[in-house]
Amino acid sequence: MADTAHAAHVGAHLETHSETSTGLDSRKLAIWTFIGSECLFFASLIGTYLVYRGRSLVGPFPHEEWVSPAGVHFEPILEIKLVTVGTALLLFSSLFVVLALNGAQRGRRGQLLTWLGMTILCGMFFIGMQVYEFTHFVHKGLTIKTNLFGASFFTLTGFHGTHVTIGVIWLITVFILALRRKLPPEKALNLEIAALYWHFVDVVWVVIFPVVYLMK
């Protein structure tokens, strides 16, 4: 009986004291390490896009009209107004997830569910926008095989969209935990880690949006 009580005490101690030598929780250190590696990954993708920017010999092109030698007319390919709305919502979602985390840490379940739900909706709109954009581009004649712009654009924004999708799924799982009352203040770190990842995908898009959509 004493051994069982001692084991339970040790388990509780390990669960509540998982700090590393840096002073950070081991899970938070892991997500920061992962984010660092992802920064290098996206830096390489953005760098590749910039290297090949403007080097396509065949249309469609992002910002200008083009007529092929066969007389086929291509309009500018980017839907900047729609993407601007999606960008704004993605940026607001970073604020929303902070408010949700505040609610989780203070035990305010209503605040947590409201703002986390808003964050998820913003993320879903962004994903839907990107699916529409990709489909629209294919109908206009731009695929990953069409030209250098298509290859670098679909690779860069496609990988970012994949990261956003993962983030939305992650936040949905946390939302379900909160609905089931399994996210008390002492477990708010579960949302904080997901929020760190969400802030990362937002910051990456802050770089991608002007590079891809605004630079001519």
The yes-or-no verdict on residue 130 having pLDDT over 70 is yes
| C-alpha–C-alpha distance, residues 178 and 163, integer Å | 23
| C-alpha–C-alpha distance, residues 60 and 124, integer Å | 28
Out of 4-18, 42-56, 67-81, give the one with best mean pLDDT. Answer: 42-56
With b for 16 or more beta-carbon neighbours within 10 A and e for fewer, the 66-95 pattern comes to: eeeeeeeebeebbbeeebeebbebbeebbe
Predicted local confidence at residue 123, as pLDDT:
97
The yes-or-no verdict on residue 58 having pLDDT over 60 is yes
The alpha-helical segments, DSSP class H, found in 21-179 are 26-52, 80-106, 109-139, 148-179
Considering only residues 1 and 188, tell me which one the structure prediction assigns the higher pLDDT: 188
Per-residue pLDDT of 8-18, as tens digits, reads: 444 444 444 45
| C-alpha–C-alpha distance, residues 178 and 161, integer Å | 26
Extract the runs of DSSP E, i.e. beta strands, from 111-201: none
Q: What global pTM score does this model have?
A: 0.85
The alpha carbon dihedral of 46, 128, 82, 58 has a sign of: positive
For 214, which DSSP code? Answer: I
Q: Are 136 and 40 in contact (CB under 8 A)?
A: no
The yes-or-no verdict on residue 158 having pLDDT over 50 is yes
Q: Are 56 and 147 in contact (CB under 8 A)?
A: yes
Q: CA triplet 79, 44, 192: central angle to 5 degrees?
A: 80
E strand or H helix at 145 = none
| Domains of the chain as residue ranges with CATH | 25-214 (1.20.120.80)
Q: Are 149 and 176 in contact (CB under 8 A)?
A: no
